[in-house]
Amino acid sequence: MTDTLFLISGASGRVGRHLVTQLIESGHRVRALTRSPAKADLPAGAEVVTGSFDHLPEGIFDGVTAAFVFPADGAGAFARAAAASGVRRLVLLSSLAAALEHERDHGSASQRHHSAIEEAVRASGAQWTILRPGTFASNLLAWSQPIRFTGGIRGPYPTSAQAPIHEADVAAAAAAALTQPGHEGRTYAMTGPEALTRVEQLQAIADAIGRELTFTEQSPEEFAAEMARYGVSADIVTMLLRYWSDTVTEPDVPRPPDALIGRPAKTLAEWARDHAAEFGG
Ligand SMILES: NC(=O)c1ccc[n+]([C@@H]2O[C@H](COP(=O)([O-])OP(=O)(O)OC[C@H]3O[C@@H](n4cnc5c(N)ncnc54)[C@H](OP(=O)(O)O)[C@@H]3O)[C@@H](O)[C@H]2O)c1
C-alpha cells in the first residue's frame, strides 16, 4: 500500500468503478465519492464517502494527493476547492467534443459543458491532465433492451463508422495520469482502436452473445420522433444525428491510448464479450 491517496469522483460510474478497482489492485489508497454508497456497491478496500459536488463532505480533501474530476455539474467548483485544499494533481474526464475538431462540435451541448469544466480545472492552480475520449462503447448499452426483446435494433445511418472506446481503457488512462509523472499540463484525445460501422458494432454484439441480430434502418426523422417519445432531449438527438451523418463519409480516425495505458486498447469485440450478459448472452 502506498502513502498516496487518490480521491475519485464519479466513482460509481462506468469509468469511475474501473478506476477505483484498477487503483486498488495496484496497491493504492482510494477515497470514493458517491451520493448513494449502498447502491454504488464499490470495491472492498475503497474508503467510501457520501456526498456530491453540491454537498461535499467535511474533510473530503484531507490527505489527498491527486483527484479524478468527473464532469458532472459542479465539477469546476470541486476542482477549485480541491486545489485550494492542497490537492496537487487533478485528472479531468472531458470529451473529444472539447477539442473542437469538427464543425459539429462548435457550440454543441457537450462541447460547451466540457470546455467550461476544462477551463476551471486549468485555472484551479493544481497540476492538471485532461482526458478527451470520443464516443464510449457503453453508449451501445442503449441497444440492450431492443436486442433482448426484438432480436435487433432500429436506427439511422447504419453505414456510419465510429471508434468506440472501452470504459476500462478510459479508466486506465486516468490511472496512468494520476499515478505516473510526466502527464502534467497535457491533454489526451483518445478513442477505441478501430472504426466500425454501426452494423459492424451490432455484429460484434451478435458474435459475443452467439445470436443473429438485425439492423433495421430508420430515417433520422423516425429516430428523432422515437427519442422524443422516450424523453431524450432535442440537443442530444441533434448531436447524435450530426455525428452519425458526418461519420458516413468521414469515419472516426482511431486514436487508441496505447502509449498512455501501456498496452493495446480493447477492441469492441472484447467490450461486447465483457458485456454479453447485459445483452442477454
Ligand atoms: N458517453 C460518451 O460517449 C462520452 C464521451 C466522452 C465523454 N463522456 C463523459 O463521460 C461521462 C460519463 O461517464 P460514465 O459513463 O463513467 O458515467 P456514469 O456511469 O453515467 O455515472 C455517472 C456518475 O456521475 C456521478 N454524479 C452525478 N451527479 C453528481 C454530482 N452532482 N456530484 C458528484 N458526482 C455526481 C454519479 O455518482 P453517484 O450517483 O454515485 O453519486 C456517477 O458516478 C459523461 O457524462 C460525459 O461527461 C461521455
Q: Where are the domains of the chain?
A: 5-134+167-190+254-262
CB of 13 closer than 6 angstroms to any ligand 1 atom: yes
Residues 6+ apart with CB under 8 A from 145: none
CB of 136 closer than 6 angstroms to any ligand 1 atom: yes
Q: At what angle do helices 234-249 and 220-229 cross, to 10 degrees?
A: 150
Q: 72 CA distance to ligand 1 centroid (A)?
A: 6
CB of 35 closer than 6 angstroms to any ligand 1 atom: yes
Taking the CA of residue 40 as reference, the ligand 1 atom at the shortest distance is 40
Give the per-residue pLDDT at 3: 78
Give the per-residue pLDDT at 241: 97
CB of 70 closer than 6 angstroms to any ligand 1 atom: yes
**DSSP class per residue in the chain:** --S-EEEETTTTSHHHHHHHHHHHHTT-EEEEEES-HHHH-PPTT-EEEE--SSSPPTTTTTT-SEEEE--STTHHHHHHHHHHTT--EEEEE--GGGG--SGGGTT-HHHHHHHHHHHHHHTSSSEEEEEEE-SBGGGGGGGHHHHHHHSEEEES-TT-EE--B-HHHHHHHHHHHHHSSS-TTEEEEE--S--EEHHHHHHHHHHHHT---EEEE--HHHHHHHHHHTT--HHHHHHHHHHHHHHHHS-------HHHHTSPPPPHHHHHHHTGGGGT-
CB of 74 closer than 6 angstroms to any ligand 1 atom: yes
Specify the residue with its C-alpha closest to ligand 1, atom 47: 71
Q: 127 CA distance to ligand 1 centroid (A)?
A: 22
CB of 71 closer than 6 angstroms to any ligand 1 atom: yes
* Burial (0-12, 13-18, 19+ Cβ within 10 Å), 130: buried
Instruction: Give the separation between CA 203 and CA 17, rounded to whole angstroms.
Output: 27
With b for 16 or more beta-carbon neighbours within 10 A and e for fewer, the 10-30 pattern comes to bbbbbbbbbbbbbbbeeebbb
CB of 192 closer than 6 angstroms to any ligand 1 atom: no
Nearest to 170 by CA among 190, 140, 184, 186: 190
Count CA atoms closer than 13 A to 123's CA, side-chain side: 9
Instruction: Give the separation between CA 254 and CA 279, rounded to whole angstroms.
Output: 25
Q: In CATH, which superfamily holds the domain spanning 5-134+167-190+254-262?
A: NAD(P)-binding Rossmann-like Domain (3.40.50.720)
CB of 22 closer than 6 angstroms to any ligand 1 atom: no
Specify the residue with its C-alpha closest to ligand 1, atom 28: 72
CB of 162 closer than 6 angstroms to any ligand 1 atom: no
The tens-digit pLDDT sequence of the chain (281 residues) is 667 999 999 999 999 999 999 999 999 999 999 999 999 999 999 999 999 999 999 999 999 999 999 999 999 999 999 999 999 999 999 999 999 999 999 999 999 999 999 999 999 999 999 999 999 999 999 999 999 999 999 999 999 999 999 999 999 999 999 999 999 999 999 999 999 999 999 999 999 999 999 999 999 999 999 999 999 999 999 999 999 999 999 999 999 999 999 999 999 999 999 999 999 98
CB of 93 closer than 6 angstroms to any ligand 1 atom: yes
Q: 93 CA distance to ligand 1 centroid (A)?
A: 9
pTM for this predicted structure: 0.98
Angle at 197 between CA 155 and CA 218, to 5 degrees: 15
Q: 134 CA distance to ligand 1 centroid (A)?
A: 14
